[in-house]
Every structure is written in structure tokens, then in C-alpha cells.
A and B are shown apart, each in its own frame.
Chain A
């Protein structure tokens, strides 16, 4: 069996990426010191740097990447469209409008988080209600509704940007590109990631069947309608929390499931946990690079994920025979 080895390898990668994130930065911390800090040695400047700044940010990055990749994998099966990503149904647009409006009003902190999450939930309910309509809830109808709602949010975002004073534009653009520099509380993300995995793993074989069409899934004993609603809610919640934590980090949700599909195929029982681990590792590494490469300048992490991910993905795609 290759499956346990693959998951063990990805777990190892996850741990390595977290250690790298703790060690690297303006002050490089040695391995031995890191171990002492983690096992609760005496307090020092180094230990508070690692435990109070780097650790929460690294965990938040891991949770965000994991949630995005898991949500992407779920959305791709739900819409039976390999091009789907967590943002395709407008959730990040709703969150962005909420966040930018708060920034425009000059508020921050809990207000920013709250309004981003509120915007995401609003968008999720809006798409859900509109796609339901009076007719049936087909994948195409859901996709079209989501894409159009997302376009509407896009217009609002442009409107807010064009009305905003210059002083706030930079912060807004960073938020839109995805930025983890304000992510100091990783627990909601980690909790939702674990919850999302726990809820979606028992559905994984159902999703394998759903990927082959709704009628086929129905004929093979899947209760399609509740499954679709459930998966939509899980994927939306994951995306909403991810966007609230880090803004619209692109690329992870689209490409991580694809990368894995090229290597292990489309069995969701493997793909879902593998996506969560690889997405988490990738974003942790990318965020560490984002804050070290051009230090003291910090780059938006979304730019780094895309710059790293695009060539890797194209290389794998050109080598694959699938």
C-alpha cells in the first residue's frame, strides 16, 4: 500500500515546514535553541520571538493552507469541474467587501475579522438560496450563480478601491492578495480544519461516486441532494475561515488538489487528507519566504504561493501521463 507512506511523508513535510517557519527570520534560531524554547525553557527574547510571534503565525499559515486546499478539493468534486477553486462561488468576494468596507471606515482588529467572516457567510447563503431557486440544484446552475455573484463582489471591490483614500489602499491591496502578517490567532483555523476533515472524510467514498455524475451516484446508492448541501456547507465554512484569517490567498486551493491528483489519482479518501497536509505545508513555507526573502520588507504571501506554484505545477503537468 502506497497510501500510508504518502500520508506519512506529507506529515513529515508538514512538521519540517513548521520547524523551518520557527527557525527562519530576521533572527535565525538554532535547532537546539528551538527545542529548548518548545519544551518550556527559561524566557528570553528568542523564546518570546518564537512562541509569541512565529509560532502563531506559522500555525495560522498551516491552518489556512490546509483549509483552502481541502475546500478546493471538495469544490472541484461538488461542481465536477477541475477548474473550480474555493473562491469560485464568491465567498472570498463577500469577505473582501466586508473587510475593505471596515478598512475604509478606519476600523480594524476584531471588526475586520468579523466583517470579513460576515461577508463570506452572506455570500455563501446568497449563492445557496439563488442556486436553489425553484428548479433543481444542478452543478452548472450552482457554478453559474456563484460565478455571477463573485463578479458582483468584484465590481463592489473595485468601487471601494476607487473611492478609498491613498493611505488605506496599500493595506487593502495586501488583504486582497492574501497576507498573514496580522494572523495572530491560529486556533479558529486549526479547529475548523480538523472539523472539516472529520466531517468530510466519512463522505469521501460518496464523493468518489458523485464525481462520476449525479445520476450515477444516485443509482449507486448515494443520497445526492443532502450530500451536495453538506459538502457545499463544509467547503464554504472552510473557505470563509481561511479568508478571514489571511485574505484571498490564491492558487493553493486550485493547485494543491490537482498536484496530488497527478500523483495519487482521484480517490477522495486519500486526496482530502493529503490536500490538507500539502496545502498547509505549502502555505507555511510560502509565508516564511514572504517574510524573509525581502526582509525587512514583507511580501503578500499570495504572490509567493503563485510564483512558486505555477512553475512546479506546469512541470508536473508536462511530465504526467494522466
Chain B
């Protein structure tokens, strides 16, 4: 089996700053990856690069052994879905209409969404607990509801690899768990994969089996959670003291 997404010798920079240098990364089916690093270190830039939305300085990205930028955009969108940090809606639109745009990569130019597409959208909205709000205007939603709608749109897209930029943003404690449970189970049980950026070390430790740390100056470290998420690495990552404690057999991280 080949890796779902593979990066070889990847070099990414933004505004003259190196995000990563000579990065080798292989995301396999069923894996959940976390990406950690300080503010402004380039996590989002790297995520967009992996999604094929911006070009790397050097190196190559393979989607199931095919070089990513040789594929047409709609083919990439059938395999890779992205949850962005911000959503824009300058024009009016309902919750259902917004979720339905997840079907865009599967429809040809003149085609309208059919019954099956609506069923998928309804299912995804139900999965994030928004089935009662289908006709609401997006502009009237709260921050957390918008985030859940964006996640539902991503589920409607049914990508094999989900690239998530701070998926727990704006979500209350309970929704953080139900939504991340949902996404992680999709990745693990349905042979897909996810990579999520986050600042909550405990959520990362709870849901991810692999992590990628961005130290800045192009330095990176990736590997399995148990080996990489250590006090020493995290202190170096954030430049402040981090303690690891064990509660009910689960590792918890607190700023020291």
C-alpha cells in the first residue's frame, strides 16, 4: 500500500522565513496527524502547501504516488479536503446551500445537486448536530455553529485526506470532543486520514497518533506521538516550561 499523501524533500517559505527544509512526510490511511508550533511559525502555510493550494520552494508532494500539481484541481478536491481557519460569506446563503457546495468537485458544469447530494448534506449536518438549522441564514450563526457548518461541508466533500486548520476553534468543550471523535473515527475506521493544526496539546495527544513539530528556521521533527510529545521537545517548541502529568492513564500537558 502506498502512502495517501507523501512529501519528499519539501521546502516551504513565507515572507522570507523558512517553514520547513528537506521535510519527508508520509501520511498513511487510518492515521491522525497533529501539527504543532508557535504562532506565525508557518503551520497554515505548510497545510495549504500540502493541499496543493500554494507551490513549495523545493521538493515534491505525491497523492497516492501521483505528483500533486500534475492533477487537475477537481481531482485533488475529490481526495483532499481543507478546513480553513476563517470562512467568508459576504453574500446571503442558507446552511443547507453552504453544506451542498461540498459536492462541487463531483458535479459537472451544468449539473445541479440531486436528491442523493441533498441526502449527504443532510446526513453531514445531522452528524454535527445542525439538522434543525438547515434553512437558517449563515450570517445569523454563532462562531461555533459556523465552525460546525464548515466541518459538515468538509464531510459532504468526502475527502480521503482531511487537512484541518484548528478544527476545535470556537467549539465548546462538549463539541470539541464530539466533533473530533467524529473526524478521528472517519479517519481511522474508513481508511481515510487527517492532519490537524492545533494549540491544545491535550486534544492532540488524545486524537493523534503522529505529530509534526515546526520549530522555526526550517527545523522540523515528526514521528509517533509517544516518542515526539515529550517535555523536552515541547519546551523547545514553545520556548516555555511544559509539564506532563498522568491522569487516569492519559497524559496531560500543562504550562509549567
**Which A residues are within 8 Å of any B CB, using their own CB?**
76-77, 80-82, 202-203, 205-206, 208-209, 211-213, 215-216, 218-223, 261, 265-267, 269, 321-322
Does B89 make an interface contact (CB < 8 A)?
Answer: yes
What A residues does B90 contact at CB under 8 A?
80-82, 211
A212–B91 Cα distance when bound, in Å, is: 8
Write 16 A-B pairs (CB below 8 A) sorted by A numbering: A82-B90, A205-B107, A205-B109, A209-B104, A215-B53, A215-B84, A216-B87, A216-B88, A219-B81, A220-B104, A221-B73, A221-B77, A221-B78, A265-B93, A265-B94, A266-B91
| Given known A202-B109, A202-B110, A213-B84, contact A220–B102 (CB-CB < 8 A) | yes
> B164-207 CB contact bits vs A (8 Å, 1 = yes)?
00000000000000000000000000000000000000000000
- Closest residue to B89 on the A side, CB-wise? A212
A223–B73 Cα distance when bound, in Å, is: 6
A153–B75 Cα distance when bound, in Å, is: 44
**Which B residues are within 8 Å of any A CB, using their own CB?**
48, 51, 53, 72-78, 80-82, 84, 86-94, 97-98, 101-102, 104-105, 107, 109-110, 112, 137, 139, 157
The answer on a CB contact under 8 Å between B109 and A212 is no
- Closest residue to A82 on the B side, CB-wise? B90
| Given known A218-B73, A221-B105, A222-B73, contact A267–B97 (CB-CB < 8 A) | yes
How many A-B residue pairs lie within 8 Å, measured between CB atoms? Answer: 80
A213–B85 Cα distance when bound, in Å, is: 12
A206–B107 Cα distance when bound, in Å, is: 10
- Shortest CB-to-CB span from A108 to chain B, Å, is 42
| Given known A80-B90, A212-B88, A265-B92, contact A219–B77 (CB-CB < 8 A) | yes
What B residues does A261 contact at CB under 8 A?
91-92
What A residues does B86 contact at CB under 8 A?
213
A212–B104 Cα distance when bound, in Å, is: 13
What B residues does A215 contact at CB under 8 A?
48, 53, 82, 84
What A residues does B107 contact at CB under 8 A?
205
| Given known A80-B88, A216-B88, contact A221–B109 (CB-CB < 8 A) | no
- Closest residue to A212 on the B side, CB-wise? B88
What B residues does A269 contact at CB under 8 A?
112
In the complex, the 6 A-B pairs of residues with the closest C-beta atoms, listed nearest first: A221-B77, A221-B74, A221-B105, A219-B82, A266-B91, A213-B88
A77–B91 Cα distance when bound, in Å, is: 9
The answer on a CB contact under 8 Å between B87 and A221 is no
Interface centre among A203, A267, A269 (most CB of B within 10 A): A267
What A residues does B48 contact at CB under 8 A?
215
What A residues does B77 contact at CB under 8 A?
219-221
